Structure 1
Amino acid sequence: MLKYKNLLGRVTYDDEAKILHGEVIGINDVITFQAKDADTIEAEFKASVDDYLAFCEEEGKEPEKSVSGETRIRMGEERHLLVSKISQAKNVSMNDWLNEAIDEKIKKEVG
Protein backbone atom coordinates (compact mmCIF):
# COMPACT_ATOMS: atom_id res chain seq x y z
CA MET A 1 0.00 0.00 0.00
CA LEU A 2 1.31 3.43 -0.92
CA LYS A 3 0.36 6.66 0.86
CA TYR A 4 1.01 10.21 -0.29
CA LYS A 5 -0.81 13.48 0.46
CA ASN A 6 -3.88 11.83 2.05
CA LEU A 7 -4.30 9.38 -0.83
CA LEU A 8 -3.73 5.62 -0.83
CA GLY A 9 -2.48 3.61 -3.77
CA ARG A 10 -2.73 -0.10 -4.49
CA VAL A 11 -0.36 -1.87 -6.88
CA THR A 12 -0.93 -5.09 -8.83
CA TYR A 13 1.24 -6.94 -11.33
CA ASP A 14 -0.01 -7.53 -14.86
CA ASP A 15 1.82 -10.70 -15.91
CA GLU A 16 0.66 -10.43 -19.53
CA ALA A 17 1.96 -6.88 -20.03
CA LYS A 18 4.83 -7.40 -17.57
CA ILE A 19 4.13 -4.10 -15.78
CA LEU A 20 3.12 -2.93 -12.35
CA HIS A 21 -0.23 -1.19 -12.47
CA GLY A 22 -1.51 1.00 -9.66
CA GLU A 23 -4.61 2.91 -8.76
CA VAL A 24 -5.58 5.34 -6.04
CA ILE A 25 -8.21 3.74 -3.84
CA GLY A 26 -10.96 5.11 -1.64
CA ILE A 27 -12.06 7.94 -3.94
CA ASN A 28 -14.52 8.32 -6.81
CA ASP A 29 -12.06 10.03 -9.16
CA VAL A 30 -9.90 7.68 -11.23
CA ILE A 31 -6.14 8.00 -10.78
CA THR A 32 -3.90 5.30 -12.23
CA PHE A 33 -0.17 4.83 -12.64
CA GLN A 34 2.21 2.19 -13.93
CA ALA A 35 5.87 1.25 -14.04
CA LYS A 36 8.05 -1.57 -15.27
CA ASP A 37 9.77 -2.11 -11.92
CA ALA A 38 9.34 -1.68 -8.20
CA ASP A 39 12.01 1.01 -8.04
CA THR A 40 9.90 3.47 -10.05
CA ILE A 41 6.31 2.61 -9.08
CA GLU A 42 6.31 4.87 -6.01
CA ALA A 43 7.62 7.81 -8.03
CA GLU A 44 4.90 7.21 -10.64
CA PHE A 45 2.28 7.09 -7.87
CA LYS A 46 3.46 10.40 -6.45
CA ALA A 47 3.60 12.01 -9.91
CA SER A 48 0.03 10.89 -10.63
CA VAL A 49 -1.19 12.27 -7.30
CA ASP A 50 0.60 15.57 -7.95
CA ASP A 51 -0.98 15.74 -11.44
CA TYR A 52 -4.41 15.07 -9.91
CA LEU A 53 -3.96 17.79 -7.29
CA ALA A 54 -2.78 20.28 -9.94
CA PHE A 55 -5.79 19.41 -12.12
CA CYS A 56 -8.16 19.94 -9.17
CA GLU A 57 -6.57 23.31 -8.44
CA GLU A 58 -6.90 24.39 -12.08
CA GLU A 59 -10.56 23.33 -12.12
CA GLY A 60 -11.33 24.89 -8.72
CA LYS A 61 -12.35 21.45 -7.47
CA GLU A 62 -11.76 20.16 -3.95
CA PRO A 63 -9.56 17.04 -4.24
CA GLU A 64 -10.90 13.87 -2.71
CA LYS A 65 -9.05 12.11 0.12
CA SER A 66 -8.73 8.36 0.57
CA VAL A 67 -9.04 8.54 4.33
CA SER A 68 -10.22 11.00 6.94
CA GLY A 69 -9.07 9.23 10.10
CA GLU A 70 -12.64 8.63 11.21
CA THR A 71 -14.98 5.71 10.66
CA ARG A 72 -18.17 4.31 12.13
CA ILE A 73 -18.64 0.66 12.95
CA ARG A 74 -21.66 -1.42 13.84
CA MET A 75 -20.72 -3.91 16.52
CA GLY A 76 -24.02 -4.99 18.02
CA GLU A 77 -25.27 -4.26 21.52
CA GLU A 78 -23.58 -7.20 23.25
CA ARG A 79 -20.13 -6.44 21.81
CA HIS A 80 -20.64 -2.72 22.50
CA LEU A 81 -21.44 -3.47 26.15
CA LEU A 82 -18.36 -5.69 26.50
CA VAL A 83 -16.08 -3.08 24.93
CA SER A 84 -17.55 -0.45 27.25
CA LYS A 85 -16.98 -2.60 30.36
CA ILE A 86 -13.46 -3.62 29.38
CA SER A 87 -12.37 -0.08 28.53
CA GLN A 88 -13.85 1.25 31.79
CA ALA A 89 -12.02 -1.45 33.75
CA LYS A 90 -8.76 -0.43 32.08
CA ASN A 91 -9.55 3.25 32.67
CA VAL A 92 -9.27 4.15 28.99
CA SER A 93 -11.80 5.46 26.51
CA MET A 94 -13.61 3.03 24.23
CA ASN A 95 -11.97 4.80 21.29
CA ASP A 96 -8.47 4.26 22.70
CA TRP A 97 -9.23 0.63 23.54
CA LEU A 98 -10.61 -0.04 20.05
CA ASN A 99 -7.61 1.64 18.41
CA GLU A 100 -5.27 -0.55 20.47
CA ALA A 101 -7.23 -3.68 19.48
CA ILE A 102 -7.13 -2.65 15.81
CA ASP A 103 -3.37 -1.96 16.03
CA GLU A 104 -2.82 -5.48 17.40
CA LYS A 105 -4.82 -6.98 14.53
CA ILE A 106 -2.92 -4.88 11.98
CA LYS A 107 0.42 -6.11 13.39
CA LYS A 108 -0.76 -9.72 12.95
CA GLU A 109 -1.94 -9.08 9.39
CA VAL A 110 0.86 -6.84 8.15
CA GLY A 111 3.73 -8.04 10.28
Structure 2
Amino acid sequence: MTTMRQDGYEALVEYDEEAGLFHGEVINLRDVVTFQGRSVEELKQALSDSIADYRAFCAERGEEPEKPFSGQFLVRLEPSLHRAAVAAARRSGVSLNKWVAKTLERATA
Protein backbone atom coordinates (compact mmCIF):
# COMPACT_ATOMS: atom_id res chain seq x y z
CA MET A 1 0.00 0.00 0.00
CA THR A 2 1.04 3.56 -0.67
CA THR A 3 0.05 6.71 1.19
CA MET A 4 -1.10 9.92 -0.50
CA ARG A 5 -1.80 13.26 1.18
CA GLN A 6 -3.83 16.28 0.09
CA ASP A 7 -5.14 19.25 2.09
CA GLY A 8 -4.54 17.45 5.40
CA TYR A 9 -6.32 14.30 4.26
CA GLU A 10 -4.40 11.02 4.13
CA ALA A 11 -5.29 8.13 1.86
CA LEU A 12 -4.11 4.57 1.36
CA VAL A 13 -3.79 3.38 -2.24
CA GLU A 14 -3.65 -0.16 -3.62
CA TYR A 15 -3.10 -1.40 -7.14
CA ASP A 16 -5.51 -3.98 -8.53
CA GLU A 17 -3.39 -5.76 -11.12
CA GLU A 18 -6.31 -7.71 -12.56
CA ALA A 19 -8.33 -4.53 -13.20
CA GLY A 20 -5.26 -2.42 -14.04
CA LEU A 21 -6.55 0.19 -11.62
CA PHE A 22 -5.35 2.05 -8.55
CA HIS A 23 -7.95 2.58 -5.86
CA GLY A 24 -7.70 4.50 -2.64
CA GLU A 25 -9.57 5.54 0.46
CA VAL A 26 -9.11 8.54 2.76
CA ILE A 27 -8.23 7.06 6.16
CA ASN A 28 -8.20 10.00 8.55
CA LEU A 29 -11.97 10.58 8.45
CA ARG A 30 -14.93 8.69 9.84
CA ASP A 31 -16.75 9.38 6.56
CA VAL A 32 -15.94 7.18 3.57
CA VAL A 33 -14.15 8.95 0.70
CA THR A 34 -12.81 6.76 -2.10
CA PHE A 35 -11.18 7.38 -5.49
CA GLN A 36 -9.56 5.51 -8.36
CA GLY A 37 -7.42 6.01 -11.44
CA ARG A 38 -5.38 4.15 -14.03
CA SER A 39 -2.25 6.31 -13.72
CA VAL A 40 -0.54 8.30 -10.99
CA GLU A 41 -1.79 11.52 -12.60
CA GLU A 42 -5.38 10.22 -12.74
CA LEU A 43 -5.09 9.04 -9.14
CA LYS A 44 -3.88 12.44 -7.90
CA GLN A 45 -6.71 14.19 -9.75
CA ALA A 46 -9.25 11.65 -8.48
CA LEU A 47 -8.17 12.22 -4.87
CA SER A 48 -8.48 15.98 -5.33
CA ASP A 49 -11.89 15.59 -7.00
CA SER A 50 -13.15 13.22 -4.30
CA ILE A 51 -12.19 15.64 -1.53
CA ALA A 52 -13.91 18.48 -3.41
CA ASP A 53 -17.00 16.27 -3.91
CA TYR A 54 -17.01 15.38 -0.22
CA ARG A 55 -16.89 19.04 0.76
CA ALA A 56 -19.66 19.91 -1.73
CA PHE A 57 -21.84 17.03 -0.47
CA CYS A 58 -21.44 18.31 3.09
CA ALA A 59 -22.33 21.85 1.99
CA GLU A 60 -25.49 20.59 0.25
CA ARG A 61 -26.55 18.93 3.49
CA GLY A 62 -25.73 22.03 5.53
CA GLU A 63 -22.98 20.19 7.42
CA GLU A 64 -19.38 21.09 8.07
CA PRO A 65 -17.03 18.62 6.38
CA GLU A 66 -15.22 16.52 8.92
CA LYS A 67 -11.70 17.77 9.34
CA PRO A 68 -8.79 15.40 9.67
CA PHE A 69 -8.30 14.39 13.28
CA SER A 70 -7.95 17.15 15.86
CA GLY A 71 -4.91 15.74 17.60
CA GLN A 72 -6.75 15.01 20.83
CA PHE A 73 -7.89 11.62 22.08
CA LEU A 74 -8.82 10.00 25.35
CA VAL A 75 -6.99 6.87 26.46
CA ARG A 76 -8.19 4.64 29.28
CA LEU A 77 -5.48 2.67 31.08
CA GLU A 78 -5.17 0.35 34.01
CA PRO A 79 -4.07 2.44 37.01
CA SER A 80 -0.73 0.63 37.20
CA LEU A 81 0.08 1.45 33.57
CA HIS A 82 -1.00 5.06 34.13
CA ARG A 83 1.34 5.29 37.12
CA ALA A 84 4.21 3.74 35.12
CA ALA A 85 3.67 6.17 32.22
CA VAL A 86 3.67 9.18 34.54
CA ALA A 87 6.89 7.92 36.18
CA ALA A 88 8.52 7.38 32.77
CA ALA A 89 7.51 10.89 31.68
CA ARG A 90 8.95 12.39 34.87
CA ARG A 91 12.20 10.45 34.42
CA SER A 92 12.39 11.88 30.89
CA GLY A 93 11.73 15.39 32.20
CA VAL A 94 8.63 15.96 30.06
CA SER A 95 4.89 16.11 30.57
CA LEU A 96 2.82 12.95 30.23
CA ASN A 97 1.33 14.43 27.04
CA LYS A 98 4.77 14.92 25.46
CA TRP A 99 5.96 11.52 26.61
CA VAL A 100 2.92 9.77 25.10
CA ALA A 101 3.30 11.74 21.85
CA LYS A 102 7.02 10.86 21.56
CA THR A 103 6.32 7.21 22.38
CA LEU A 104 3.58 7.03 19.76
CA GLU A 105 5.81 8.74 17.19
CA ARG A 106 8.47 6.07 17.70
CA ALA A 107 5.90 3.28 17.56
CA THR A 108 4.27 4.50 14.35
CA ALA A 109 7.36 5.54 12.39
Same fold (TM over 0.5): yes
Structure 1 residue 23: Cα displacement:
1.6
Residues 30 and 100 from structure 1, CA distance in 2 versus in 1: closer, same or farther, beyond 3 angstroms? closer
TM-score normalised by structure 2 residue count: 0.80
Matched residue count: 107
Structure 1 residue 86: Cα displacement:
1.6
Q: Is the 8 A contact 1:25 1:66 kept in 2?
A: no
Q: Deviations over 1:46-85 (max 9, x none)?
A: 2210121122223322212342211222332222111101
Which residues of structure 1 form unaligned runs of 5+?
none
Which residues of structure 2 form unaligned runs of 5+?
none
Aligned Cα RMSD in Å?
2.0
Bigger relative contact order (CA 8 A; separation at least 6): 1
Separation in 1, partners of 2:103, 2:30 = 30
Q: Which amino acid aligns with 2:96?
A: M
Structure 1 residue 97: Cα displacement:
0.6
2:25 alignment counterpart: 23
Separation in 2, partners of 1:66, 1:86 = 30
Identity across aligned pairs (percent)? 33
Q: Which amino acid aligns with 1:58?
A: E
1:68 alignment counterpart: 70
Q: Which amino acid aligns with 1:17?
A: A
Q: Is the 8 A contact 1:6 1:67 kept in 2?
A: no
TM-score normalised by structure 1 residue count: 0.79
